[in-house]
Amino acid sequence: MRLSGKGFRRLAVVLAGVLALAPLSPVRAAAPDVLPLNVTNDSGRAGQVHLYVVGVNTSTGRLGYVDASGTFTPWPAGSIPPSPAPDVSIGGPANGATTTLRIPRGLSGRVYFSFGEKIGFFLTPTGLVQPAPWNPGDANHDVLFDWSEFTYNDDGLWLNSSQVDMFSVPHSVAVTNAAGTTTRTGVLVPDGRERIFNAIQGQAGDWSNLITTRPDGLRLRVLSPAKGIGAGVFDPGYLDGYIGSAWDTYRSQTLTVVPFQHEPGKRFTGRTDANGVMRFTDGTGTVVASFQKPATKDVFGCDGRLHAPNDGVVGPIARTLCAALHRSTLGYLHTQPTYDPGRFYTREITNHYSRIVHANMADGRAYGFPFDDVGGFESLVHDGDPASAAIGLTPW
């Protein structure tokens, strides 16, 4: 399950709401009203850590923030142009220490963490302006920060370390259930941050343009190619040739999509017609989904012509197509998705950002693009009976 609606896509836009990402069900006694989330700072970096918990109350739809006691408060109304939001930062841990946040049940959102400087949030009359550091004019462009995404509701906790928009601060996520079992992901290999930056820097083409370096020389972040296109620093036609070749393959070859691993009998077959539209039929031969050939930005964003509605057919097919194009398996492997990561990112034209991030994760799991959960390769922890959660600011 992917959190926060494709990484809360936005480029200095106002969010009027945040998607609730897990199905709601009757209240279960096992889920505490307020879940402790321990943030441990083993980064080795100097400077005050500032923490923020922001999101949406999934019962009311109100956007707001959570204070150190775990109390949710809706944001006050802002203005046009956006006005500064109240300072809702929570003092974070010094190096080697832990700060415990408290997450109320019924909240979906983000935990932000910054080093040294605080993050600037802004408000309009209808919503919150999230930080958008890919925009050179954003107030947070030179701030070292990152975030994890979560949903905590009656069905448990979902918590991920997201690289959908960018990679910046190495951090792990974990959940411990009532039985005492802990699940953790997001840990980098030794020197992983440096390895990621160096590999992106050395990748031929526009990839090095995705790196943001602060005036003091600190490499702050690597943007995803989707954000790089939006910022005007990455080729908006990078994937076009590969997409066209993959689309043409299915003029004479049948593509089989089996979107649910637990339902191997639920299959859809696709062919590209004379007009360049890939049409999928179900077992009865009925056309159930159609996709015009997407552009590079549609693929990197998993939207536009690859928009995935929250249904049981079109959305799952779109997700599968998008993941296969990111991993450069579409056009070569004719049953999708594939569950063998050794076959991902093997072509010259591929999502090298996602490839490099995955290669430097200790368990190979990351959210390198919006639907990296296709096949189960995302950096997500989930438990239906959580007792506590954790975010680890890991060494770099």
One domain, residues 361 and 334: no
Predicted local distance difference test score (pLDDT) of residue 62: 96
pLDDT tens-digit map of 143-191: 999 999 999 999 999 999 999 999 999 999 999 999 999 999 999 999 9
One domain, residues 389 and 278: no
With contact defined as beta carbons under 8 Å apart, do 140 and 131 qualify?
yes
CA 84 to chain centroid, in Å, comes to: 26
Question: What CATH number should be reported for the domain holding residue 272?
Answer: 3.30.920.50
User: Per the domain annotation, does 305 fall within a domain?
Assistant: yes
> CB count, 10 Å around CB of 117?
14
One domain, residues 138 and 249: no
Which CA distances in Å does 130 have to 5, 55, 124, 253, 297? 14, 10, 11, 44, 21
One domain, residues 343 and 367: no
Predicted local distance difference test score (pLDDT) of residue 30: 61
Weakly modelled stretches of the chain, pLDDT under 70: 1-30
Name the nearest CA neighbour of 391 among 125, 15, 53, 58.
53
Predicted local distance difference test score (pLDDT) of residue 22: 40
Predicted local distance difference test score (pLDDT) of residue 320: 98
Question: What CATH number should be reported for the domain holding residue 52?
Answer: 2.60.110.10
One domain, residues 52 and 25: yes
pLDDT tens-digit map of 311-345: 999 999 999 999 999 999 999 999 999 999 999 99
One domain, residues 77 and 187: yes
Domain encompassing residue 195: 4-221+355-393
| Overall number of domains in the chain | 2
Predicted local distance difference test score (pLDDT) of residue 31: 78
**pTM of the complete model:** 0.92
Label residue 344 exposed, middle or buried (CB < 10 Å: 0-12, 13-18, 19+): buried
Predicted local distance difference test score (pLDDT) of residue 378: 97
Catalytically active residues are 149, 165
User: Per the domain annotation, does 195 fall within a domain?
Assistant: yes
